[in-house]
Amino acid sequence: MSYKAYRLRQRKSDGSYDIILLASRSDLALRFKADGTENGSVETALTTLEGALKTVQNAVNGIDMSTKITKVADGTAGNIPMLTVDGALTDSGKKPADFAAATHNHTMSQLSGTPNSIIVTGTDGTFIAAASVTPAELAHISGLTSNAQTQLNAIKNTADTAASNLSNYVPNTAKGSAGGVVPLNDQGLIDATYLPGYVDDVIEGYLYGGKFYEDSAHTKEIEGTAGKIYVELNSEKTYRWSGTVFSVISETIALGETSTTAYRGDRGKIAYDHSQAAHARADATAVTFSSNGVLNINGTATTVYAHPTYSPSKSTASKAITAGTFTALTAITNTNGHITGYTETTYTLPAAGANIQSGTAQPTNQNVNDLWFETLS
């Protein structure tokens, strides 16, 4: 493979060329001085590097490797290394998994500990003295056949059901009966059934079809009782039971939006204040914004303004540009395409005749500062 080298030259005012750099297609570039001599030598740099490598080699040769641990020849990865009788490192041929925990047994005569203590096994498998227990205390639990707490609970349950302890409980027949006790409902309260009549004289509900109900769906009827007051939650009117029908006690005023109710005062004040404020006539035209140039008039989109259209055409005039400077204008438009301004940019052209040439022969038509890539090979 061959490489073609180039020397980049720049024309001077006297017609000669300065050497700027030498380059080849291998991307290796050496810079030269203006007089053509090299700015340094590759051979000199290699000689310096060779000397540095020799210095490192001498330093390594001076290290005593006989005291260093080296890699075991022919060793197996994961095996445990070992030393021979002469201190050399070798492969043991064993892995950590080959050394399982050893197990052994002891007789009771080989064990020693604290007198009168219970011996248990610790988390590491060793025997430890857990607590001091006398022979008499051990005899107290010798008769247990299961968990001690379980047996105690069984004894307690048996005692609780014994006839001698029934006096501690209230019989079910005494709940809610005369001379008995009053039970609590699911909310922990006493139902009205067990209260005197005067405690529950006012009953709230819903009047429908001449009957009172607990719920607005009219599924749970409330029986009429003399001496009680019934409040109708929808109309807030009060009733009493005459014995045959629910009669209105008084025609009270109830709030609502029907012909038989009074309207809410807060809403009435809002309506009055609005009637006193200035506002459009009832027959006024409703106009709302739709889009640019279009309004909604009484719900109909109406075009009230149309943007002017303009189709620009390019200029066909031309002008030759010579060395020097020239100015170009660029229009600035907004989002609607309207021209809002312009920018002015000045461009500078190189001197007339400036160019770059290549070849083995020196150009004869270049000016000062023109470049010439001189082909060397």
Q: What is the pLDDT of residues 199-248, one digit of tens each?
A: 558 889 999 999 999 999 999 999 988 878 899 998 888 899 999 999 98
Retrieve residue 189's tokens. 């309260």
Mean pLDDT (the chain, rounded): 75
pLDDT for position 212: 93
Q: What is the pLDDT of residues 48-83, one digit of tens each?
A: 777 777 887 777 677 665 655 566 667 788 888 887
Q: What is the pLDDT of residues 252-305, one digit of tens each?
A: 677 778 877 788 888 888 988 888 887 776 667 777 877 777 888 877 888 877
φ/ψ of residue 211, rounded to 5 = -125, 155
Min mean pLDDT across 113-122, 296-305, 332-341 is at 113-122
Cross-strand pairs, 159: none
Q: Which residue has the higher pLDDT, 75 or 350?
A: 75
Question: Is the separation of the CB atoms in 32 and 39 below 8 Å?
Answer: yes
Q: What is the pLDDT of residues 130-144, one digit of tens each?
A: 677 777 777 777 667
pLDDT for position 292: 75
Tell me the longest C-alpha to C-alpha distance in the chain.
Answer: 139
Retrieve residue 335's tokens. 């989002």
Min mean pLDDT across 104-108, 137-141, 229-233, 327-331 is at 104-108
What SS3 state is found at 119? Answer: strand
pLDDT for position 365: 82
pLDDT for position 94: 86
Cross-strand pairs, 246: 241
Domain residues of the chain, as ranges? 1-54+359-377, 153-195, 196-250
Give the strand pairing for 287-291 and 127-132: unpaired
What SS3 state is found at 148? Answer: helix
Dist. CA 311–CA 281, nearest whole Å: 46
Q: With 50 as the cut, is the pLDDT of residue 32 above it?
A: no
Confidence of residue 42 (pLDDT cuts 50, 70, 90): low
Q: Could you say which DSSP state residue 189 is in? A: S
Question: Is the separation of the CB atoms in 338 and 349 below 8 Å?
Answer: no
Retrieve residue 224's tokens. 């009429």
pLDDT for position 46: 66
Confidence of residue 5 (pLDDT cuts 50, 70, 90): low
